[in-house]
Amino acid sequence: MAGGIRMALDSISPLSAQAEVMCILPLNGDVYVGGGFNFAGGNPVSGLALWNGGQWSDVGGSGLKPNDAVEFMVQVGSSIYISGGFSRIAGKPVRNFARWDGTEWIPMLTEGRGVGVRMIAANDTEIALSVPSFTDFGFGQHKGLALYHVPPRLHVEEQGEFLRVSWPGPAWRYWLEQSATCEPGSWSLSAKPQDGPDKTRFVDLPKDGSARFFRLRRIPVLKRE
């Protein structure tokens, strides 16, 4: 892997005097490089590039605007999270904090919010964020420091006439959402999760139901006044 990183850096370093590499992520034999640049290996690639050992490419059409940059990058679970000074990725509005799930780019902040938000540290389940101004993360406003809790991975298996969707039971409360198409606006909450063995949570759904896509939504815990 060290050789792959060396080849990647050798390829990107002569781009221009203004090119700057800010973060590197080796993953599954490839090398992801983020920074402030508009070309990689002679190809028009802005801000975030993938080196597969032989050539450069973008990541899911991840063309950033000129002068935008990816400053921090980390793998958490099966996703790659990035942060930096950017406002668009792959032609859609995504500001400063985004997730690549292997198929598409997902904005992590409400559109129009999150000026100056940056990742500063991460582990397998949490991402620490620097938040210079009040920002709505979908579960309340934060300023200074915020901790984003990465949803656990889902496990799906058949249980007789039902389809059981389960996940590890973390400290935060999650509810399952389901969709037949995965299109925006098609998601709906499933039944209330039940407690399973080994501190898991699960929902049983009809096997012949229309839902084919599942995701977790964290439900804020309301404090009693």
Does residue 47 contact residue 68 with C-beta atoms inside 8 Å?
A: yes
Its pTM stands at 0.68
Residue 5, H or E segment: helix 2-12
Q: What is the Cα 199 distance to its own chain's centre?
A: 25
Distance CA 92, CA 80 (A): 18
pLDDT at 225: 37
pLDDT at 86: 86
Domain topology for 155-218: Immunoglobulin-like (2.60.40)
Distance CA 136, CA 143 (A): 9
pLDDT at 214: 86
In which residue ranges of the chain is CATH 2.60.40 found? Answer: 155-218
> Can you list the alpha helix ranges (DSSP code H) found in 16-124?
none
Task: Identify the segments of the chain with pLDDT beneath 50.
Answer: 1-4, 13-17, 112, 171, 221-225
pLDDT at 160: 86
Smallest CA-to-CA distance from 55 within 98, 4, 129, 118 is with 4
Q: What is the pLDDT of residues 132-173, one digit of tens each?
A: 765 655 555 666 677 677 777 788 898 888 899 988 875 457
pLDDT at 172: 55
Distance (Å) of CA 55 to CA 3, 12, 85, 116:
14, 11, 26, 32
